[in-house]
Amino acid sequence: MKNYKNNNQKGYALYLIVMMMSVLLAAVLGLSNIIVGGVNLAIIVRDSGNAFYAADSGVEEALYLIANNPDYCDDFSGQVGGPEYNATYDVKITCETGKTTVISTGSYGDARKRIEVYFPVND
């Protein structure tokens, strides 16, 4: 009597390895997606902070100009930190009777931040 082995298991190891590699690849791709998203968020936060500081610089310059000349009511723009820093601000000043409004918009990269300051002016 011959002993025949059941050989229907051929290729099962290859199938198992391919399935395990697919699951591992999916996990790695998901993790890399989370990491890239975190890096992009960190860049947005950095740019947002720099845009806010640029807008704040515009407000400070406007307050300085108004303190030295209470009738100053011109719009202006400027750059913060030199050309390599590339942060800018645009300031709009609105003068009304008894009140001055300063609106400064700071820009850095793709981020924009706006600060509005209202203060009374003594005539």
Q: What is the pLDDT of residues 36-71, one digit of tens each?
A: 989 988 888 889 999 999 999 999 999 999 889 888
Residue 112 inside a domain? The answer is: yes
pLDDT digit string, tens, across residues 65-117: 988 988 889 999 999 987 778 899 999 999 988 889 999 999 998 899 999 99
Residue 16 inside a domain? The answer is: yes
Residue 66 inside a domain? The answer is: yes
d(CA 2, CA 90): 93
In this prediction, residue 2 carries a pLDDT of 61
d(CA 78, CA 85): 12
Residue 7 inside a domain? The answer is: no
Which CATH number is 52's domain given? Answer: 3.30.1300
Confidence of residue 119 (pLDDT cuts 50, 70, 90): confident
Instruction: Kindly tell me the burial class for residue 58, based on how many C-beta atoms sit within 10 Å of its own C-beta (0-12, 13-18, 19 or more).
Output: buried
Residue 48 inside a domain? The answer is: yes
Q: Which residue segment(s) compose the domain that 69 sits in?
A: 12-120
